[in-house]
Structure 1
């Protein structure tokens, strides 16, 4: 009988540890809901610091199936705050960070406090920095304290797979308590180390969609799960993940965090399933992760039922209101494009549920630009329902547009980065704009799509400002 490997997803926590990325409380809830559809066993949402409290409360209230895990340090005030944060969860767990050789009495007290309300996991942060004997001794001590699960961490990704296998094997041989692992990707071996740990007896792996995380990130969930699926016999292990939701989940996380999935990314990149004719040697089929090929072409004569059928085939579940909203955008797009591809539909549907309330709404814009005079932009927007018009000049059309928007919104931000790429091929391709703006001490990502690249850029900027307005209100 194959071993069941528990999947602890740390996307919500590690996503915000990634330089230049942030998420609103609404976006965290939407990702958590998608992780439920994906079928992960644990959703780790980080420390209950002030900016994260609303997201934790909402997730604990709305998510009932997987275990909800929050984090704390081994001191009592931190443990008490975590206990309070997770109290509303139907199934909660608290991950206590500790060091082998540290204050054992404090760790024991934290475990006792946590176990009064839920399961206690202890992450040994320096597991790969101390001797094997010291690690095993600490693991046995944690077991005697009543820890429900012990996490062996290679947070800075310093181990090679064989090294990590030996480290984890010594722990699994020494204790009966379940062992989990967390691997950093600094040397590009996070997934390999995670899989080595499975062979060594680990029963839970921590990973993140897209491998997001600080520095080089963590083990990519889609890669680890796909490897366990494809090599199930070798590892004598399986997961409970609904693999057909992998692609949809990856696209959602990329949309929320505002990064582009590179074409040659394993499992989820556009080139992952491109093979020469007659040379189909794919280990994992596209439909296994939720990529369905369909020759049906949608266009201006396609009905709402046609659109709804294709959306469902792509793995999306929309409410009637969301369907109406997306179909309206689809109809608008067909007035600009002869045919609408699956990627176009994904671009329409992906932002649903993540943008929150629109404090600012683009109504119209006029751009005058050339190389003989300064560019100017006339922007007409609704601010809290009231229409406002501003005109500005700039060093280019986008600079002028952003300045006009700043005058309307009166939000003081600085532009950190701006990127633009096409979603599909052809002259009428959708442009996908991503902007990152700095507000106070946070970097906020905005995204916009349109067949007009300037409109896409304006929408992305407005999207970022709406997120800031929502954050201020929260």
Structure 2
């Protein structure tokens, strides 16, 4: 049986220290209830002495959220401990979490006291907290920069006084994995009672190593990890819960450890925290980012469609994401396009598919991502396409509020480029006249409609025209991220229908 790693979630305390991410009581309860569904072992609901609002929120969570241990943070002073106990006393499983700096930097620069005084304060704080609550956690703030022998003395003393959990934080994200893992290993050897309590770590991400340091600690005997949803928290944030949980799940054989987190609830929880804190998740964020299970490279897409294990080491469904996403871009290959068209319900003959693919690449070269509506437009144009007497090649425009628009249009016929220019009442009118000069036939525009197929500045524009040519009205459609080009393609499409009908 593998070793269980307890997940201590501090999203509602350390996570809320992100500037601008303040949560009200209702929002805190909503997140806490979801954390309980997620299956975390401990919820640090807040820092009750910091404000009356935070005290009220922690009390409400303690009274309404069942399952996890509920804890509140307190400095190693009597007043803070009293308030913390008031906040969590009605919890199904309460805990008081006490902390005090242990590094010489914190003792001398912040607390203005020596090691002996700080040690007495730590012992007295744990002794006082034990009067109220059986479950007491003690944190040695800035442990990774603390003299090792002194760190051992502090942990030994608070364990003897009844601390049930001792936490070794990398408060400023200074540690590196080998070093931090070694600290945990040596503490296991040097502190006698450490095997009888829960050894916890709390790593910050200032050097981007919070998850790596936490895992190094697990490998060396830590059995509780303090972390946050989406890695939110002070400065560069905390160790990311979703990354830690999925590393232990995906690389179970390596760590021989597990958590009780229901991983299928990860994505839902991530989205909730992002929404309520108004802190966006970066697209390339591991596990929960928008691109975490998205594939845009043609080679990757082909591999994924053949066997998901080629480019996915875990299933998106395992974290609550419905499925991986095939992102159609200019780098996508034929396999991905054919797969997406099949999903949209199209069965396309090989010769038509080649035309669809060529038009797709033409559009994708100028548009970041091709969505479903874009594909519908591209396919419908190709499926209703007639033999092309003339093919659109390019156009150039000169236009402005104080000049007559001039358009230069280039078409191809039987592989030969033909260019002509014309003016008009506007840029679209000038392009239409240019097309007429090349094809040698005039038309009367009876209807013209232009719409955006998708949203955004790079939206695909779709033009539809009805043109009367020699007494008969012909329809034409065209699509392009450039609305003038879309209009030109639609107008030319109408003339090609005229030529197809004439022969």
The verdict on a shared fold, with TM-score over 0.5 as the criterion, is yes
Separation of aligned partners in 2, 1:2 and 1:426 = 53
The answer to whether the 8 A contact 1:160-1:193 is kept is yes
The answer to whether the 8 A contact 1:15-1:22 is kept is no
Aligned counterpart for 1:113 among listed residues 123, 128, 132: 128
CA deviations over 1:341-382 (Å, ceiling 9, x no partner): xxxxxxxxxxxxxxxxxxxxxxxxxxxxxxxxxxxxxxxxxx
Q: CA deviation at 1:172?
A: 2.3
Q: CA deviation at 1:294?
A: 9.7
Matches within 5 A, 1:51-200: 51-100=53-102, 101=115, 102-118=117-133, 119-173=135-189, 174=191, 175-176=194-195, 177-200=197-220
Separation of aligned partners in 2, 1:6 and 1:426 = 49
Q: CA deviation at 1:428?
A: 4.8
Aligned counterpart, 1:289: 319
Separation of aligned partners in 2, 1:37 and 1:53 = 23
- Normalising by structure 1, what TM-score? 0.61
Give 3-state SS (helix, strand or coil) of 2:143's partner. coil
- 1:427 maps to 2:454: yes
Give 3-state SS (helix, strand or coil) of 2:285's partner. coil
- 1:217 maps to 2:237: yes
Separation of aligned partners in 2, 1:134 and 1:426 = 67
CA deviations over 1:404-448 (Å, ceiling 9, x no partner): xxxxxxxxxxxxxxxxxxxxx96258xxxxxxxxxxxxxxxxxxx
Aligned counterpart, 1:15: 15
Separation of aligned partners in 2, 1:6 and 1:210 = 18
Matches within 5 A, 1:359-370: none
Give 3-state SS (helix, strand or coil) of 1:12's partner. coil
Aligned counterpart, 2:224: 204
The answer to whether the 8 A contact 1:43-1:67 is kept is yes
Give 3-state SS (helix, strand or coil) of 1:153's partner. strand
Higher radius of gyration, 1 or 2: 2
Aligned counterpart, 2:35: 35
Unaligned runs of 5+ in 1: 296-337, 340-424, 430-474
Off by >6 Å, runs of 4+ in structure 1: none
Q: CA deviation at 1:112?
A: 2.3
More helix by share: 2
Separation of aligned partners in 1, 2:163 and 2:28 = 28
Change in CA separation of 1:120 and 1:186 when aligned onto 2, cut-off 3 Å: same
Separation of aligned partners in 1, 2:121 and 2:79 = 11
Q: CA deviation at 1:106?
A: 2.6
Q: CA deviation at 1:273?
A: 1.1
Aligned counterpart, 1:5: 5
- Normalising by structure 2, what TM-score? 0.58
Give 3-state SS (helix, strand or coil) of 2:13's partner. helix
Separation of aligned partners in 2, 1:52 and 1:87 = 15
- 1:253 maps to 2:273: yes
Separation of aligned partners in 2, 1:91 and 1:206 = 18
Q: CA deviation at 1:66?
A: 0.2
